[in-house]
Amino acid sequence: MPLPRFLDLPIITIVVPIVALGLLISGFGDSASTLFLALVALALIATVLVAVVHAEVIAHRVGEPLGTLMLALAVTVIEVSLIVSMMLAGGDDARSLARDTVFATVMIICNGVVGICLLAGSIRHGIVTFRAEGSSSALSVLVALTTLTLILPQFTTTTPGPTYSPAQLGFASLMSLILYLVFVFVQTVRHKDHFLPHAAERGEGINDASQHHSRPLLSTASASFVLLLVALAGVVGLAKQLSPAIKSGVQAISAPLS
């Protein structure tokens, strides 16, 4: 039985952010019980998924390649909020958590996600087509950023351990920002055709039902934008509520915080 819809959005994608916000408000200042923390964990997972759904609706409305950028920004906000909340709760022991998480994310994306996409695409279509220009550009930036942030600290000698000095950290941060901004400029302005489906070059509509989801109405996209903001606020707040419990659970099983 299909879910009821409002503004062409499933009702569950509207209810979940509101419930998350309610749990966030009701949990302020309380020593949460086990049942409440379980509800927070379930709500956090559901809110993350719903946030991505709303980001995808907006992405379909604005079209490619800006749509991909919108999805990336939404996922980045979710990831950073989860990492920061865990670092704040972990104290000095969580100083390397951001590095460990980024390293794990690179491995999961380059090996797991890309592999699953290639496998699923091959099973469904037989032959998978993709833009080599856009893929090589994205991988080149990823390799440069990964080397700058995860590998070079192993070889610096200014500070003990695999760390940057404040000046080196400032340089690495500035170069990372410049690299990403250049990539975004290439993706959205200079060579945006490299990041569009091949159908766009043949004059076919990339928003046709056969190629893509139908373009959402402006009212639907506007509602998704508001709900996306609510969902992101819920993710940040719920992650902060849940992080002490996660830390306690990790300590209970004598596992390293990373």
What's CA 102's distance to the chain center, in Å?
Answer: 12
Is 131 part of any domain?
no
Torsions phi, psi for 77 (to 5 deg): -60, -40
Is 162 part of any domain?
no
**What is the distance between the alpha carbons of residues 144 and 9, in angstroms, rounded to a whole number?**
39
Joined together, the tokens standing for residue 18 give 């509101």
Is 126 part of any domain?
no
**What is the distance between the alpha carbons of residues 41 and 134, in angstroms, rounded to a whole number?**
37
* Residue range 122-131: mean pLDDT, rounded: 82
β-bridge pairing 9-10 and 5-6: antiparallel
Parent domain of 71 = 5-94+205-252
Q: Which residue has the higher pLDDT, 123 or 97?
A: 123
Is 80 part of any domain?
yes
Alpha helices (H) along 129-217: 132-146, 166-185, 198-201
Joined together, the tokens standing for residue 235 give 């993710």
Is 71 part of any domain?
yes
Q: Which residue has the higher pLDDT, 3 or 214?
A: 214
Domain count, the chain: 1
- Residue 4's pLDDT band, with cuts at 50, 70 and 90, is low
Q: What is the pTM of this model?
A: 0.69
Is 77 part of any domain?
yes
Percent of the chain at pLDDT > 70 equals 85
Integer angstrom CA distances of residue 163 from 148, 153, 168, 170, 199: 12, 5, 9, 12, 46
Is 119 part of any domain?
no
What's CA 110's distance to the chain center, in Å?
Answer: 15
Cβ contact 60:220 at 8 Å:
no
Is 56 part of any domain?
yes
